[in-house]
């Protein structure tokens, strides 16, 4: 037990340091971004492509900081009894707007009476958005993204399926590594974050993929054991 406590204290110290360092980095970066934007507006046209690159890279660094912060604050999260379909429904306006902008289609299939689980809603939203965005980014403007929720024997299963480019077998095992990315503007932290969120919910995450056909991410959440929910036996 003492080892566990030591580990928790170390983790929370790292989390706190990450929070203050990222805060201290984000502020000067916001100032830099502001002045670059100003210079961009006042400079001759031939420099605009440079400013564009600088702004893009600043935004990329900022994304890394945000994702890293979520990953480093790997603390015990508060959970409440909620249904995954309600969390997904909250996100639909955002997801639909994203799909619209890309000219892609979203199909949602939710089974009746999805059973409630112990969830940290903020984290589950982050998980869903990361999987959905990856799916969208893997597809052209003719893509169809399907989101499914179904009850299974011992819990609930979330599937996010795209008909995009697919993932080559040799890359499959590296997907969840922090900083593994194949995108020019990727952070490679999205799936690492997804994995840590799923682990904090005692769930499992699996991938099925075929080159040129598409990819499914399958997250299995376990129903809380009898007696673990609220008071009682």
134: contact with Mg ion by CB under 5 A: yes
Neighbours of 25 (CB within 10 A): 13
Q: How far is the CB of 180 from ligand ADP (least distance, A)?
A: 5
Residues within window 190-209 making contact with ligand ADP, judged by CB under 6 A:
190-192
Query: Could you tell me whether strands 204-210 and 214-222 are parallel, antiparallel, or unpaired per DSSP bridges?
Result: antiparallel
181 lies in the binding site for ligand ADP (CB under 6 A): yes
Which partner from the list ligand ADP, Mg ion, none does 180 bind, CB cut-off 5 to 8 Å by kind?
ligand ADP
Nearer to ligand ADP by C-beta: 134 or 220?
134
| Least Å from the CB of residue 69 to ligand ADP | 15
Tokens linked to 206: 């699996």
Stretch that binds ligand ADP, among 2-10, 28-36, 129-137, 196-204 (CB under 6 A): 129-137
Shortest gap between Cβ of 4 and ligand ADP (angstroms)? 29
Q: How far is CA 39 from CA 24, 50, 54, 156, in A?
A: 24, 11, 12, 52
Nearest residue (CB) to ligand ADP, 62 versus 151: 62
């Amino acid at each position: 037990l003492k080892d566990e406590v030591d580990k928790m204290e170390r983790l929370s110290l790292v989390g706190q340091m990450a929070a203050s360092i990222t805060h201290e980095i984000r502020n000067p970066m916001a100032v830099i971004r502001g002045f670059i934007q100003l210079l961009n507006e006042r400079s001759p046209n031939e420099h605009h492509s440079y400013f564009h690159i600088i702004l893009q890279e600043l935004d990329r660094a900022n994304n890394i900081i945000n994702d890293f912060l979520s990953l480093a604050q790997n603390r015990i999260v508060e959970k409440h009894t909620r249904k995954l379909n309600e969390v997904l429904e909250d996100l639909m306006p955002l997801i639909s707007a994203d799909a619209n902008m890309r000219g892609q289609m979203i199909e949602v299939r939710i089974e009746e009476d999805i059973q409630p689980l112990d969830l940290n809603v903020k984290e589950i939203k982050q998980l869903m958005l990361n999987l959905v965005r990856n799916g969208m980014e893997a597809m052209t403007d003719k893509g169809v993204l399907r989101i499914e929720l179904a009850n299974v024997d011992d819990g609930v299963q979330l599937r996010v399926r795209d008909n995009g480019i697919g993932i080559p077998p040799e890359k499959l095992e590296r997907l969840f590594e922090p900083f593994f990315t194949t995108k020019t503007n990727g952070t490679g932290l999205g799936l690492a974050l997804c994995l840590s969120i799923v682990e904090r919910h005692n769930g499992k995450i699996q991938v099925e993929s075929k080159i040129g056909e598409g990819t499914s991410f399958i997250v299995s959440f376990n129903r809380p054991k009898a007696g673990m929910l609220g008071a009682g036996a």
